[in-house]
Homo-oligomer: A and B are copies of this chain.
């Protein structure tokens, strides 16, 4: 503990062992209802303290956190480029520092070496920190032979409007948490650890629904108002691991248990979209806006009847409807796990919102996950005139670190 006073670990007490969810700590927190009192240890009830710690995501494991971890309400994506002069050795030291910091912060502890105290009073808040390597990392560190062929550049798509300065990068970090201060605290700690070794190439902030804001757990909505994520593969499905993670005997071997992530900053042209009106929007998507059910009826999880025709003899779900084009069984069984954040960076000079989706998708092989789906969308998706891909990244995310190991160690010391 670099700081004096109450540690975050002490504050959260015997956390982690209970089944209580974060939300149960409850109570609207704000200055008006908040008589200040430094006696945190005595003021918080045992149930409150325990419930905070229950919301801890594990750092160690077969896979890194932040892939099958439930969506958090706040997210930061950051890409770094190695500083000139920094090579394999410096990168290894950085990943070692980063891993130690991620483990501490995810447990609700302070960062080493001068904690900023921004997250001091909070529990873990479902913090997850995930690390990845971009294609350029391998040439800069003399590790070309270890570079996975899965990191070959993504093909160009005709609808891309990519800003190179906000695309790719040597290293990538994804931070998610259900408290904005906990997320920001982690972001600063990660950035400070990089000082001298890597500098920020780009950084994006995103958000999702807050836990407890809806009456029941449900598929999230995006800023177009659509239920988004209906067809995501579920960890309970038998092919899930095979589709999302590199197998234990995969190639290269240092990627065992890892996954490849495609990150796209997809701006939504919301003024145009909202002008359409609900009926026309539903035709573009092929689903009802209210509940995500297919236009051919049922509930969100009902299979769309792709051949069903209406009174006019035309198919109810149009040939270019987004839901038809993205259906897994229309794409050779390809599957990716989409785990996005929405973003909103204010309004541009024309008064239009700079808002949309930080699309983050996970797969064992981008050429069988993202690429074939995006190719089909690129050719004939009715949604494409309402969105614009403005940045793109592809990163190799190694498997989770074992105890005493750091993320990427099998690559950097292999």
Chain A positions near chain B (C-beta within 8 angstroms): 2-6, 11-12, 20-40, 43-45, 48-49, 51-52, 55, 68-74, 114-118, 120-123, 125-126, 178-182, 184, 188, 191-192, 199-200, 203-205, 207-221, 223-227, 229-230, 232, 234-235, 270, 274, 277-278, 288-293, 299-301, 339, 342, 344-347, 351, 353, 355
Asked if A29 contacts B211 (CB within 8 A), the reply is yes
**How many identical subunits does the complex contain?**
2
The complex places the Cα of A49 from the Cα of B52 at a distance, in Å, of 23
Known: A218-B34, A274-B116, A290-B120. A28 touches B6 (CB 8 A): no
Residues of chain B with a CB closer than 8 A to A184's CB: 223, 342, 344, 355
Nearest Cβ on chain B to A117's Cβ, whole angstroms:
3
Nearest Cβ on chain B to A29's Cβ, whole angstroms:
5
* Shortest beta-carbon contacts, A-B, top 5: A30-B70, A5-B290, A23-B26, A117-B225, A44-B215
Known: A6-B290, A70-B30. A218 touches B126 (CB 8 A): no
Interface of A is mostly: loop
Residues of chain B with a CB closer than 8 A to A122's CB: 209, 213-214
Nearest Cβ on chain B to A49's Cβ, whole angstroms:
5
B38, B115, B235, B355: the one contacting A300 at CB < 8 Å is B38
Nearest Cβ on chain B to A330's Cβ, whole angstroms:
20
Asked if B292 contacts A30 (CB within 8 A), the reply is no
Residues of chain B with a CB closer than 8 A to A209's CB: 29, 122, 179-181
The complex places the Cα of A200 from the Cα of B347 at a distance, in Å, of 8
The complex places the Cα of A43 from the Cα of B49 at a distance, in Å, of 29
The complex places the Cα of A179 from the Cα of B207 at a distance, in Å, of 9
